[in-house]
Amino acid sequence: MGLRIDINEVEKALQNLLAELRKQKGDVIEMEPVDYYWSIDRDELYNPYNDPTHLTLGQLTDDLEEIKKLADSGAAPVAQDLVKISSILAALGHKTVW
Amino acid sequence: MGLILNRKGVAVKPLLFTLLLVTAFWLLKTAFSQVSTGSMILSMTTLETVEQILEQVKEENSEASSRGSGKKKPSIKEEIEHAKGRLSKSEYKAAKSNYKRMVEHVDKLEKYKQNPLKYDNLGLLKNAPSEQVKQKIIESRIAHLEKEIQTFYTNIIKIIN
């Protein structure tokens, strides 16, 4: 049986989460200098039977730039944008306390 | 039974032959149109390595390519256009968007390779504890951009196949 994800639930949860984050921390959040982060190859990421071996470095400032393009110009979103935005959400989760 | 066939043989044989010809012609025509629209291509020839993908994207977006000189195999862009007829509107849009993003990322990778420090937005590379660590960051960043390009490409293949 595969994992079942209800997009409506994810959307509602994200809305609630971001609304609370905005209430707690404001519209713009300044974080300690974090930019590069380790990223696991997608073929290895969901394989619990082997240790990941292919690590690469993502860059939050680069991800933010891509997301900004998406927000500003209405460029057509693609699946990979979910990965980029998840890195930003992860950084917000790891680096803010509330 | 044999008598009936014998009696009508003169009329039935040409009729069957004509029918056979029409069917064969229709089958050939269908097959030809499927090949020309690309719908019979069940899987386009996938590029094996990121180097091949980079080379292909650069080639098809270079000036020489846009002039149409000496192209042998269909470009990724052409493969997407060939597949258009059998894709839904949203699949076609997704394939095109992934292609656009892949091209942008190829350009981003090239620029990064030329000057990694220019893209060190918060100065963490510049302040790396050693030259070895600095080099590792650059290599891992290049590997990441290459992986992203490969992902865009793989997604295009999955969508159009």
pLDDT tens, per residue, chain A with 98 residues: 899 999 999 999 999 999 999 999 999 999 988 999 999 999 999 999 999 999 999 999 999 999 999 999 777 899 999 999 999 999 999 999 99
Is B144–A59 a contact, with Cβ atoms under 8 angstroms apart?
Answer: yes
Q: What's phi and psi for A56, nearest 5 deg?
A: -130, 175
Q: Does residue B38 carry a pLDDT above 50?
A: no
Chain A residues within an 8 Å CB radius of B101? 78, 80
Total-model pTM: 0.79
Helices B89-114 and B76-83 sit at what angle, rounded to 10 degrees? 170
Answer whether A58's CB lies under 8 Å from A86's CB. no
Please write the tens of the pLDDT for every residue from B101-116.
Answer: 999 999 999 999 999 9
Contacts of residue B140, defined as CB under 8 A and 6 or more positions apart, other chains included, come to: A55, A56, A57
What is the ipTM score, two decimals?
0.93
Chain B CA closest to residue A34: B122
How far away is chain A from the Cα of B48, in angstroms, using its nearest Cα? 16
Domain ranges, ordered by start, for chain B = 1-37, 44-160
Domain ranges, ordered by start, for chain A = 30-95
